[in-house]
Each structure stands twice: as structure tokens, then as C-alpha cells.
Structure 1
């Protein structure tokens, strides 16, 4: 196994460990045990817990960018708000279905890193792109696309949290009902911001 593959394996295991047992469970020893690696393996690749957390932040960010590209969401140009709502809702539903552990670990870390301005900011921007949201609202001819984008990101953050840990956590992702709920929420926002 290459060094890159081993590092990715350890980081993915760290994300899963946080999601299953909480942030306090994240230790180099616990990762060695979870992956059946020789003692000291995780610390060989990530000397400190901060280095490991930085790698987790990078992994969540990279995976989010890859998923966004793969989703082929509406590109800049004339935008049909209903089609945009459906496309983004489908993408969010996939995020909820495929990356639940990323979402849990991210939220655990985001609270823990409030006093670390650099890592907190990086993690806060790891799921959604304010720039892409601004482009979307510019294409919709919204007078203040910067404010609309910031508000939209806040809406997405809240919707995702609600679905994996809030009052709608029982709504199963990967189902038509899940996509419908998200589409309705986004369509309401788009109608409101265009009014």
C-alpha cells in the first residue's frame, strides 16, 4: 500500500471513529487498533493530533469538491430556480446518504475548533462553496448575490444538520421523500430571494 493510500485509510478511519464514538475517542492508538496496524503506525503518518485533524479537514474538503463536480449542478448562465432546487436537493440527499460520518465528524470538530481560527474557518468552508452560491444568485439576477449566497449557505448548513441530527433525522436519505423535502425547502428560499 502506498503512503498516500495508507494516509487516506487512516484519515477515513479517524472520521469513522469520531462519528461512532465521539471526538474524545480519536487517538493514534485507537486508529492503530481499528485498522489492525502495528502500534505507532498512525503516529508515524500523523505525528500530532493536530496533524491528523488537519488531514481530516482536508479530506472532507477534497471529497466535497469532488462530489460537487460529479453532481454537475447548474452552471453559470440563465437559471431555472425549480430545476436548481431539484438539482441541489438531489446533491444534498446524496451527501446525507453517502457521507453521514463526514457530517458528524465535521460538526464535532467545528465546535471543538472554535478557538482555532485557521482550522475552524477551513472546516466551516469544507462542505459548501460561497463562490458558487454567489455565481448562482448572480445568474438569477439577485440584486445582492453576496448576501443571498451567505444566507443560502446558512440554509444548507441548517438543512443538512436537521436531516442528520435534528428533528428530521428519521427521514431516510436516498428516497423520493427525502429529495422532495429538500427540494421544497430550497424552492421556497429561491422564491423568497427573488421576490
Structure 2
């Protein structure tokens, strides 16, 4: 197994460990045990806790960028706001269904990394594209596309948090009901 593959394996295990047991459970020793690696293996690849957290941040940010670029919520006619809201809702639902652990860990780390502005900023601004949102609202002829984009991203963040940790956390992702509810929320904003 290559060094890059081993590092990715350790980071993925760290994400799963945090999502299941919380940040306090994250230790090099716990990762070695979870992956059945010889003692000291995780610390060989990630010398410090910050290096490990940086690896997690990079993994989540890279996956978020790739998912956003492949989002598939372009509609041929931006005048059809309902279709646009539904496409974005499907993308959010897929995010909730496929990357729940990433979302949990991302929010835990945003709080944990308050004293590390570099890593915190990468997480806080990495799930959605501010530029993509601004371009969307400019194309929709909003008077202030920057403000609309910032507000829209706040709505998306809130909707995602609500569905993995908030009042609606028990609603199953990957269902038509979840997509319908998300689309209804988004159309109210886009209208």
C-alpha cells in the first residue's frame, strides 16, 4: 500500500471514529487499534494531532469541492425557480445520504478549530461555493448577488445541520419526502 493510500485510510478511519464517538475519541492509538495497525503507525503518517486534523480537513474539503463541481444542479432555464430548487434539493439530499459522517465531523471541527483560523476557514467555506452561489444569483438578476449568495449559503448550512443534527435529524435522507421538504425551503428563498 502506498503512503498516500495509507494516509487516506487513516484519515477515513479518523472521520468514522469522530462521527461515531466524538472528537475526544480521536487518538493515534485509537486509529491504530481501529485499523489493526502496529502501534505507532498513525503517528508515523501524522506526527501530531494538528497534522491529523489537517489531513481530515483536507479530505473533507477536497471531497466537498469535487461534489460541488459534479453537483448536477444546472438547469437549462433559470427562470424555472422550482426546477432549480428541486435540483439543489436533490444535491443536498445526496450530500446528507452519502456524506453524513463528513458533515458531522465538519461541524465538530469547525467548533474545535476556533483557535486555528487556517483550518477552520477551510472547513467553514469549503462545503459550498460562494463564487458559484454569487454567479447563480447574478444570473437570476438579484439586485445584490453577493448578499443573496451569502444568505443562501446560510440557508443551505442551516438546512444541512437541521437534517443531520437538529430537529429533523430523524428524517431519512435519500427519500422523496426529504427532497420535497428541502425544495420547498429553497423555493421560498429563490422566489
Aligned equivalent of 2:164: 164
Aligned length: 191
Structure 1 segments (4+ residues) deviating >6 Å:
none
* Whole-angstrom distance in 2 between the partners of 1:61 and 1:84: 24
Structure 1 position 44, deviation (Å):
0.8
Structure 1 position 80, deviation (Å):
2.7
* Whole-angstrom distance in 2 between the partners of 1:87 and 1:20: 30
Q: Secondary structure at the match of 2:70?
A: helix
1:24-43 CA-to-partner distances (Å, cap 9, x unmatched) read 11111100000001111111
Aligned equivalent of 2:117: 117
Pair 1:15–1:41, CA change in 2 (3 A): same
* Whole-angstrom distance in 1 between the partners of 2:51 and 2:84: 38
Structure 1 position 138, deviation (Å):
0.5
Q: Does 1:29 align with 2:29?
A: yes
Aligned equivalent of 1:177: 177
Aligned equivalent of 2:5: 5
After superposition, residues 84-99 of structure 1 pair within 5 angstroms as 84-99=84-99
After superposition, residues 49-128 of structure 1 pair within 5 angstroms as 49-74=49-74, 78-128=78-128
Q: Secondary structure at the match of 2:143?
A: coil
Task: Work out whether residues 78 and 84 of structure 2, in 8 Å CA contact, stay in contact via their aligned partners in 1.
Answer: no
Instruction: Give unmatched runs, 5+ long, in structure 1.
Output: none
1:75-105 CA-to-partner distances (Å, cap 9, x unmatched) read 7984532121111100100111011111111
* Whole-angstrom distance in 1 between the partners of 2:79 and 2:20: 40
